Amino acid sequence: MPPEAAEPSVSSSPPARGIRGELRALLALAVPLCIAQAGQSLMSVTDTFIVGRAGTSALAAVGLSHALFFAVSSFGMGLMMGVDPLVSQAIGAGNPRRARDVLWQGVWLSAFVGVVLWAVLITVPSGLPWVGVAEEQIVQVRAFLHFRAPSLPLMLIFLTVRAYLQAIGTPRPLVVSAVLANIFNVMLVPLFVFGGESLPTWAGPLTHVPAMGAAGAALSTLLCTALEVLIVARAVQAIPVPGTPSRRPVKADQLRAFRVGLPIGLHIAAEVGVFALAGVLSAKLGPESVGAHQIAISFASLTFTMALGIGNAGSVRVGWAVGAHDTPQARRSGLMAFALGAVVMSLGGLVFALFPGSLAKLAGAPPDVLPLLLPLLMVSAIFQVFDGVQGVGAGVLRGAGQTRFTFVANIVGHYAVGLPLTLLLGFHLGMGVLGIWWGLCAGLITVAAAVLWRFWHVSAGTLRPLEG
């Protein structure tokens, strides 16, 4: 049976029983995963806050660059999440050797997919003139992606190793890597963005670092991502497993992970794509609108990491139970994750509703952005709980091996419901960026209702492992 505590070995112990026991077990895994997930998002938030002090144009360029990066990388991120249920179900079945084999095949697959998406990403700025983005912003976006794109293979490898570490109940290296990466990022972003000319003479060679503007934030993220990969790789090396896992590429295993991950990749690409499209539509309304959108989406993304962390923990616990052929435990774990995600995200929404001005000040919003930003934070406060439910739902369904439905739910929710409302409210009714956000909110509500219904339905029957 799966491990209940974060120990540096692939061990096993009985699953939690009862509501309190399940909540304690879920929290023991979810808290460090939330911290690690927040650390990933915090680097983007740091970029936004620091670059925002370089002016509205630079802030808009970073916002658009982040939107394009995640629009392209989201497919690869989701694809590598196909490793999640395969590893967690192998641990639940008491087969740690199989879990390590899946890890190695995931690393090979993530490296290949990352290089392909790297090539795709650097061609994206060429299409921006077609959607009305100003040339000044395109130049900055191209420079940003020049340094950000090489981090794609590293990021996908990190996500694959993360799936393994969380599946064996060892999330501590993820927390360490997130903390150290953010410390270095906070130091490097101001240096690369503004240059080292203003540093004291004792800083030596650092005083000669040129000001790179928005591209400096991308270079910092690349270096910090490499640091994270090194940390988690060393952690995996220290974890013993019986036998000798195969490190050679195995086509059949990679195809299995690809088949499981493909619907996840399409679902995340659909979700991130609609938010990226919202960023592009905001850019058509002017740099003030895209700046407000970027700051608001940065805060919303930061709170959403809590839902992702809980969803990852729920995915692991559901996967453990499915691997052990214990559907009642899988249902209990999944529903507890749904409840915890809704509560935590509601608290985040309360913060947005009560302190929008303080959050805007914290972000260093320029005066011309502030009037547009405050209403967006209020909309974000409303959709927090629904965003949490759909984020957790994707995780628990992934742990159960139910990945196709989430893709369909996102297509219907975001593109059949949310996007038409975004265009109607934002442009036809003249609500601008606020109307765009109300459309996004409607899409999230639809997806949340769908994934909750799906898990309730499938967990009432018998959940079967993906392998064996």
Q: How far apart are CA 251 and CA 230, in angstroms?
A: 26
Q: How far apart are CA 385 and CA 349, in angstroms?
A: 7
Q: Exposed e or buried b for every residue in 295-325, given b needs 16+ CB within 10 A?
A: bbbbbbbbbbbbbbbbbbbbbbbbbbbbbbe
Residues 6+ apart with CB under 8 A from 224: 43, 181, 182, 184, 185, 188
Q: Are 147 and 189 in contact (CB under 8 A)?
A: no
pLDDT exceeds cutoff 80 at 196: no
Q: Output the average pLDDT for the chain.
A: 84
Residue extents of the structural domains in the chain: 19-458
What Å distances lie between residue 198 and 105, 195, 210, 367, 438, CA to CA? 47, 8, 11, 26, 43
Residue-wise pLDDT for 390-412, tens only, equals 999 999 999 898 889 999 999 99
Q: How far apart are CA 78 and CA 73, in angstroms?
A: 9
Closest residue by Cα to residue 331 from 342, 321, 323, 340: 321
> What's the gap between Cα 294 and its chain centre?
16
Angle between helices 433-458 and 251-284 (to 10 degrees): 150
What Å distances lie between residue 206 and 189, 195, 220, 222, CA to CA? 13, 8, 14, 18
The DSSP result for 123-152, as a single string, is: TGGGGGGGGT--HHHHHHHHHHHHHHTTHH
pLDDT exceeds cutoff 80 at 109: yes
Residue-wise pLDDT for 330-371, tens only, equals 999 999 999 999 999 999 899 988 888 888 887 777 777 788
pLDDT exceeds cutoff 70 at 79: yes
Residue-wise pLDDT for 148-172, tens only, equals 889 999 999 999 999 999 989 888 9
Indicate the pTM of the whole model. Answer: 0.79
Give the mean pLDDT of 303-314. 90
What Å distances lie between residue 201 and 184, 187, 189, CA to CA? 21, 17, 20
* Terminal alpha carbon distance of the chain: 16
Give the mean pLDDT of 48-52. 73
Residue-wise pLDDT for 220-277, tens only, equals 989 999 999 999 999 998 888 887 767 788 888 888 889 988 998 888 888 877 887 8
